[in-house]
Amino acid sequence: MRTYDVLITPDAYDDLASIRDHIARRHGSPENARSALRSIRETVASLATMPSRSRKVEEEPWRSRGVRRILSGGFFVYYRVDEEANTVYVLNVLYARGNQKIGAR
C-alpha cells in the first residue's frame, strides 16, 4: 500500500491553535481541548494512506484545485493530495458548523 507524507500548513497549525484555545477557554477544560486535538491529529495521520478516499469539495475554485475534506469529530480537515510529490497538504481545520472559508493555496 502506498504511503504519503503528510504536511500541515501554517494556516492549519493556526487553526489547530485557535481550536485548542477556544475549547479550553469556552469550556474551561484543557483536557477537552487536548482530546479534540488528539482526535484531529489521528485523522490527519490517517491521510498517509488512501488520502483520496474523501470526495473533492464541490465549491470552486477549491474543487478544480483538488481540495478534499474529511470529518474529524466536529471539524472538517481540508487537504489536497500531490501525487507527484507523494504528499498530502493539510490546508485548514474548521469547525463543521461554522463558516467554511478555506485559505487553500
Identify the CA nearest to 92 among candidates 84, 81, 103: 103
Is 105 contained in some domain? Answer: no
Report residue 40 as a C-alpha cell: 484531529
Q: How many domains does the chain have?
A: 1
Is 104 contained in some domain? Answer: no
The per-residue pLDDT for 89 is: 98
Q: Which residues of the chain have pLDDT under 50?
A: 104-105
**CATH number of the domain bearing residue 82:** 3.30.2310.20
* Residue 47: partners with Cβ closer than 8 Å, 6 or more residues away: 4, 6, 70, 77, 79, 88, 90
The residue segments making up the domain with residue 68 are 5-95
Is 102 contained in some domain? Answer: no
The per-residue pLDDT for 105 is: 37
The per-residue pLDDT for 104 is: 41
Is 103 contained in some domain? Answer: no
Give the alpha-carbon dihedral of 53, 58, 60, 61, to 10 degrees: -10
Q: How many residues does the chain have?
A: 105
pTM: 0.88
